[in-house]
Amino acid sequence: MNGLSKEAARQLAVGDDAAGQRIDNFLCRTLKGVPKSHVYRILRSGEVRLNGRRVGPDERLACGDRVRVPPIRTAAPAAPRQPPAGAVPPIVHEDDALLVVDKPAGLAVHGGSGVAHGLIETLRAARPTARFLELVHRLDRDTSGLLLVAKTRPALTALHAALREGRVDKRYLVLVRGRWRDAKRSVRLPLHKFATKAGERRVRVDDAAGREAVTVFRRVQTWPAHEPPLALLEAELLTGRTHQIRVHLTALGFPLAGDDKYGDFAWNRALAKQGLKRMFLHAARLSLVHPATGTPLVLEAALPPDLRRFLEALDGRDADA
């Protein structure tokens, strides 16, 4: 036995969850175990029909469309890998269109690169009857806080548009080293993504090749008498570039506590001995217009216990509110 089976031709109905999606992405998601190369082959050959006609891979679907899929050989599905018990993070908000979780640090948002499963796979495994669950945006593995998950295709499309157009207010809390004096400081430094020789993704400030990146920092609390001086800041993202907050802070000379890519590595080791064993970057607040109802939605996630304990351990006599 080669583990392959041949399906009969199928007629697939397009529901609300797939409305607006490209047909190639729809087929890749629907035809489990079928290589993408084969999906594109049957599209090019005309074997896939949308409402009885041939279409290209970039054709957009509408609710009520009918997609004919020819007989296809598929691999026998492997037994699903179940996430560990209790791995679903706290849910801050949920309705018919949207789910918002408070992601803990150390949890990847999706599987890959040596990670068996991430937050989105865990959610899907915990909700096997859910028709649609997709990440709206991402947080780094070591970043904690608010993460948006769409429960319908229209909600995902609307939220992506809101993010692109800057209509989602995202605020983070960060702890940095240095004497931060400004109550408010706007930073506009273009950022460029590149890969190291080892293939690791990195970002740097690059006036020539970088894309526009704007962060607004607001002072929350400072410890000027602490050695070294520290500051707790709120970072507002006006653009959403990879590692934007971290790279902007490093460029300003205020390294982010615990940052293992762009920070001060010797200082990070000292912080670990003091109890801060991860990056102090927390997605604390999101303000947006609900994608289905159009009503304002404001969501907040308190500092997790490890970050809160570290701040409480700082000498209160050295703190300036």
Query: How confident is the model over 73-122, as pLDDT tens digits?
Result: 655 544 445 555 457 899 999 999 999 999 999 999 987 555 557 899 99
Q: What is the pLDDT of residue 110?
A: 80
Beta bridge partners of 69: 10
Nearest residue to 117 (alpha-carbon basis) of 146, 149, 160, 88: 88
Q: What is the pLDDT of residue 10?
A: 86
Q: What is the pLDDT of residue 198?
A: 76
Q: What is the pLDDT of residue 85?
A: 46
Asked whether 190 and 205 are in contact (CB, 8 A), the reply is yes
Q: What is the pLDDT of residue 3?
A: 46
Active site residues: 140
Nearest residue to 147 (alpha-carbon basis) of 86, 87, 104: 104
Nearest residue to 222 (alpha-carbon basis) of 284, 300, 314: 314
Distance CA 175, CA 178 (A): 10
Give the Cβ contact number of residue 286 at 10 Å: 22
The CATH 3.30.2350.10 domain(s) of the chain lie at 91-318
Q: What is the pLDDT of residue 82?
A: 53
Query: Taking the C-alpha atoms of 196, 136, 212 and 231 in order, what is their torsion angle to the nearest 10 degrees?
Result: -80
Q: What is the pLDDT of residue 186?
A: 98
Q: Hey, which CATH number is domain 91-318, 3.40.50.300, 3.40.50.620, 3.30.2350.10, 3.65.10.10?
A: 3.30.2350.10
Instruction: Return the structure tokens found at 80.
Output: 């699903």
Please give the class, per CATH, of domain 9-70. Answer: alpha beta
- Ranges of residues in the chain whose predicted pLDDT is under 70: 1-8, 73-86, 112-116, 315-321
The CATH 3.10.290.10 domain(s) of the chain lie at 9-70
